[in-house]
Amino acid sequence: MLTRRLIVCLDVDSGRVKKGTRFRNLRTHGTPAQMASAYERDGADEIVFLDISATIAGRQTMLDEVRSTADALTIPLTVGGGVRSVNHIAETLRAGADKVAINTAAVERPALITGAARKFGAQCVVVSIDAQRNGGGWQVATYGGRCITSLDAVQWSERAVALGAGELLVTSIDRDGTAQGYDTALMRAIGDRVRVPVIASGGAGNAAHLAEALRSGADAVLVAGIVHRGEETVAGLKAYLARAGFAMRDVVQETGSLA
């Protein structure tokens, strides 16, 4: 049985973790290194570190913050935000990232996906797709959701994989931070068209939403606000998913032991 992953996302701005709704109205939480370490102890399978102001500010990811976060972890770390070249990817990997997520640069220069996959391996290349509903479909957004392109999100997911992406991080802008559940139609539409892992992001409000996303075809689920605010715990979410029949790593049972 395929093991599913529960991933915690840290949206980082000026050295602090922040979270809002539909990419706006950000609320400040803790430091990325401290929060990442705490989530690992609670059972997170991976951490995603997104420098949410890097692309907008036209700068590279804050590598000092990446290093301190990587030093606090033994689980995989994916880093994104402001990554615009193969050299940037190399620097981010040297700073401790296991994988690098690219969005705006991949849309503007799709050859970056192929170049990165050839140099570092497809397993290191995550294409992040921020998608906004438009009628019966979804359009790709760049620059932190500020620019809505003409790209169809499902078609772009297929092309990104063909170019060398080893994984897709798919975020519904419409659901992000709303706690109304993931856009399962979006996850199903993309999951049906690609053969690489798809991470569902945007909208988790409770454990049942995670199960719905996995049933819709996602291979992993990403959470942020519900654990940052203390409404749910990573351990509790994983235990729920295990009881729902999903194979999960290192599930903490009610006795406190690992399954």
The CATH number of 3-248 is 3.20.20.70
Cα distance between residue 93 and residue 142, in whole Å: 23
- For residue 56, what pLDDT is reported? 57
For 56-75, b/e burial (b = at least 16 CB within 10 A) is eeeebbbbebbebbbebbeb
Per annotation, catalytic residue among 45, 51, 130, 183 = 130
Residues with Cβ within 8 Å of 256's Cβ and at least 6 positions away in sequence, in order, are: none
102 within 8 A of 80, measured Cβ to Cβ: yes
Question: Tens-of-pLDDT digits for all 259 residues of the chain?
Answer: 689 999 999 989 877 787 555 444 445 558 899 999 999 999 999 999 998 776 655 666 789 999 999 999 999 999 999 899 999 999 999 999 999 999 999 999 999 999 999 999 999 999 999 999 999 999 999 998 889 999 999 999 999 999 999 999 999 999 998 999 999 999 999 999 999 999 999 999 999 999 999 999 999 999 999 999 899 999 999 999 999 999 998 886 543 444 4
77 within 8 A of 96, measured Cβ to Cβ: yes
- For residue 259, what pLDDT is reported? 42
SS3 at position 42: coil
Residues with Cβ within 8 Å of 114's Cβ and at least 6 positions away in sequence, in order, are: 163, 164
Per annotation, catalytic residue among 11, 13, 51, 176 = 11
* Residue 130 Rama label (left phi>0; alpha psi -120 to 50; beta): beta
Annotation marks residue 45 as catalytic: no
Residues with Cβ within 8 Å of 246's Cβ and at least 6 positions away in sequence, in order, are: 4, 211, 214
- For residue 252, what pLDDT is reported? 63
Annotation marks residue 11 as catalytic: yes
User: Residue 251: which of 74, 72, 2, 4 has the closest Cα?
Assistant: 4
Cα distance between residue 259 and residue 252, in whole Å: 6
- For residue 257, what pLDDT is reported? 40
Residues with Cβ within 8 Å of 27's Cβ and at least 6 positions away in sequence, in order, are: 18, 19, 20
Cα distance between residue 49 and residue 193, in whole Å: 27
Cα distance between residue 23 and residue 44, in whole Å: 23
SS3 at position 178: coil
- For residue 60, what pLDDT is reported? 64
- Encoding tokens for residue 167? 């994984």
Domain ranges within the chain, ordered by starting residue: 3-248
Which stretch of DSSP H or E encloses residue 63? Answer: helix 63-71
- Encoding tokens for residue 33? 């290194």
Residues with Cβ within 8 Å of 225's Cβ and at least 6 positions away in sequence, in order, are: 19, 177, 179, 204, 231
